[in-house]
Amino acid sequence: MKKILCFCLGILFSVSFAQDGSPDLSFGIDGVVIHELAGDEHWVQGAGEKSDSKVLVLLKTFDAQNGDPERIFAFNEDGSIDTNFSNNGILDISNPEFDYDNLIVLPGDSFFVSGLNNSVFTVVKYDDEGNIDASFGNNGQLQPYLNGAIGSAMIVNDDQSLFFLGNQIIGGIPHIVFYKYLENGSLDTTFGDNGEVLYALGNVTDVFAGFRKVDDFFYLDIKFQENGVSSKNIYRFLLNGDLDVSFGTNGRIIIPIEEEFFTSFSVFNDGNILIGGSFWDINTDSLIRKTIKINSQGEIIQDFGNGGVINGLSGGHIQGNQRFILDGTFFDFEGGASPFFSRYFPNGNLDTSFQFSTNYYELGVFSILHLQNGKILLVGSDIWYNGPEINIILQRFNNSPLSIPDIEQNKIAIYPNPSSGIFQIQNETPFYNTPYEIFDSLGRVVLSGHFNENSPSINLSNVESGVCFLKVSEISQTIKLLKK
């Protein structure tokens, strides 16, 4: 049995066990659950949380004698195997012609697995018990790319309709192609031209594309070479497939980060974009990371972090309160990973209330799940050189800000109070698209809006004199205002 070591990664850690970022001691032993599995080596391909807080994990085992089986494991909220799922908690989906690489849990707890079936991208749908849903697509399978298009990027909407993004060469010109399918896996012919939207990229090569849906937009992460120069871009499209020409320059911004960085992005509620970049430096055998923030015109926000950049970390999971978590995991040259994460305020200032530590610090491949309750779950495996046993490891960490608004952590100052009209509001943490309402003494709403500045103001000039009450979204405190 492998030793479990306490490893704080150089962070001073002298707070209670419930500190955000610390191991969740209510989970397993010291926040860790270990499952010993037979097989040479296990790789976590994907994971998803069900509505009842149980977790599904797609796992590939490198075992040449048994054809490198791929299985889906179901875990209860406490990390134990959910024996009510499929065959005592394990669904064997092994197929010598199919290489699965992703898992998506759907509303209602059915789920998709996807990957290459004889080199063709294929999506398979299962019900919540692990049976193939034959009513979907062609007996449970969908191969969405048509007319010579290729790709693997997929988005599932709340109504379980699906969008796919791919590439296609038409007349020698690379095109981005969108498809939309209905919940049952049939092509939605009301979308674009009979279910398809094409967008010509121009004279470019080496196209790589991925995308995400945020509110009423598609954001496309498109990398290509143009006139021999590599370019990393973000395009924004409307949900009907039209290019949003109000975004950047005619719908496109060029990511302002050096060529060698591989990038990913997330979008804040106010439309600003968090860019995480990383590359492996062969001269130092180390992973170089940086994170920047840009506006919707592609300009670096200079007062973010330290002169517009956070060095040493990348990624960027943006939480509901707009704080974001960055990844600083250390990787050695043989593939071992020592997890490390930090949390930041939207302006790029370090959130010191999040202090990461782990009780199982060296892994191979792992997936990160941000759970419904706000906590963080790592699902991974041991690294091969710590064998011979290669276990599956689940680690859960405290993380509570999804239910604790930023403003509630700080003292709010309102001045002048009383006022004849204008009230200035100050708080230590900036507001970001935070709704508020003003009530009069009879409980009627006399004003409402959103705070979006460090020191926002409220104008009650047109409100009758008397006592009013300020209520900021999700905050239990009601603040009295006196209008003269």
The amino acid occupying position 391 is N
What was the pLDDT predicted at 10?
37
Query: Does the pLDDT value for residue 81 go beyond 90?
Result: yes
Strand 229-238 vs strand 445-451: parallel, antiparallel, or unpaired?
unpaired
Quick: pLDDT tens for 242-290: 999 999 999 999 999 998 999 999 999 889 999 999 998 888 888 899 9
Per-residue pLDDT averaged across 212-234, rounded? 91
- What's the CATH number of domain 32-399, 3.30.2350.10, 3.40.570.10, 2.130.10.150, 3.40.50.1980? 2.130.10.150
Question: Is the link from the previous residue into 418 a cis peptide, with omega within 30 of 0?
Answer: yes
How far, in Å, CA of 111 to CA of 189, rounded? 24
Per-residue pLDDT averaged across 310-325, rounded? 92
In sequence order, what DSSP letters do the residues of 201-226 get, joined into one string?
Answer: --SEEEEEEEEEEETTEEEEEEEEEE
Q: Which has the closest alpha carbon to 289: 339, 337, 332, 328?
A: 328
Query: Does the pLDDT value for residue 14 go beyond 80?
Result: no
Domain 407-483 top-level CATH class: mainly beta
Quick: pLDDT tens for 15-61: 334 689 999 999 999 999 999 876 667 889 999 999 999 999 999 88
The three-state DSSP-derived secondary structure of 82-129 is CCCCCECCEEECCCCCEEEEEEEECCCCCEEEEEEECCEEEEEEECCC
Query: Does the pLDDT value for residue 397 go beyond 70?
Result: yes
Quick: pLDDT tens for 320-348: 888 999 999 998 878 888 999 999 999 99
Query: Does the pLDDT value for residue 381 go beyond 70?
Result: yes
Per-residue DSSP letter, 194:
T
How far, in Å, CA of 144 to CA of 179, rounded? 8
In sequence order, what DSSP letters do the residues of 312-342 get, joined into one string?
Answer: S-EEEEE-TTS-EEEE--EE-TTS-EE--EE
What was the pLDDT predicted at 477?
60
- pLDDT bin (cut points 50, 70, 90) of residue 4 is very low
Query: Does the pLDDT value for residue 318 go beyond 70?
Result: yes
Sign of CA dihedral 347, 348, 350, 355: positive
What was the pLDDT predicted at 11?
36
Q: Which has the closest alpha carbon to 125: 72, 178, 62?
A: 72
How far, in Å, CA of 92 to CA of 481, rounded? 63
Burial group, residue 181, by CB count within 10 angstroms (0-12, 13-18, 19+): buried
Quick: pLDDT tens for 171-202: 999 999 999 999 999 999 999 999 999 999 99
Q: Which has the closest alpha carbon to 400: 308, 323, 475?
A: 323
- pLDDT bin (cut points 50, 70, 90) of residue 440 is confident
> Is 458 strand, coil or helix?
strand
> Is 303 strand, coil or helix?
coil
How far, in Å, CA of 77 to CA of 374, rounded? 13
pTM of the model: 0.79
What was the pLDDT predicted at 426?
77
The amino acid occupying position 93 is I
More confident residue, 430 or 147: 147
More confident residue, 407 or 209: 209
User: Can you tell me which residue has the tokens 């945020």?
Assistant: 214
**Cβ–Cβ < 8 Å for 123, 142:** yes
- pLDDT bin (cut points 50, 70, 90) of residue 5 is very low
User: Can you tell me which residue has the tokens 């399918």?
Assistant: 181
Quick: pLDDT tens for 117-134: 999 999 999 999 999 999
With a pLDDT cut of 90, the percent of the chain lying above it is 58
| Sequence-separated (6 or more) residues with CB below 8 Å from residue 225 | 204, 205, 206, 231
Helix residue spans in 292-421 (DSSP H): none
* Alpha carbon distance, N-terminus to C-terminus of the chain: 72
The ranges assigned to domains in the chain are 32-399, 407-483
